[in-house]
Homo-oligomer: A and B are copies of this chain.
Amino acid sequence: MASGDRRGPYICGIDAAMDVVSGKWKSLILWELDNYGTRRFGELKRGLPGVSEKMLVQHLREMEQDGLVHREVYREVPPKVEYSLTEHGRSLNEALGPLGEWGQRRAERLAAEAPTGSP
């Protein structure tokens, strides 16, 4: 399954962190929630162009289980659910900072090397 048994015995810290971040949209979700503080399901969906509802729900559930995300349900009609980061989620986002900067530099380097696809 896609979100079954995890928290396996880890070989190293990277492994343990990757277990939690791997997932097509997870780092983006992390960034959205860190940036906006609190987001409703529909807002997240609109903020992540291309994400399917299924994956968004699945990722959010896993991140909740992993203690990264807090889920607040308002018993209203139509339904309202708000997501936000926990302390762990925020610290993970911080830990991802240097990696993001490295990737940024790499992207810039690639753009400089092949501006139009080398015609």
Which A residues lie at the B interface, using CB under 8 A?
A: 7, 10-22, 27-28, 31, 88, 91-92, 94-107, 110
Q: In the complex, which residues of chain B have a beta carbon less than 8 angstroms from the beta carbon of A27?
A: 12, 14-15, 18
List the 8 closest pairs (A to B, CB-CB), nearest first.
A17-B103, A16-B103, A13-B103, A13-B104, A13-B100, A95-B102, A95-B98, A16-B107
Contact A17 B97 (CB under 8 A): no
- Please give the count of copies of this chain that the complex contains: 2
How long is the Cα–Cα vector from A15 to B31 in the complex, in angstroms? Answer: 12
**CB-based nearest B residue for A114:** B7
Contact A16 B96 (CB under 8 A): no
Given A98-B95, A98-B98, check contact A103 B12 (CB 8 Å).
Answer: yes
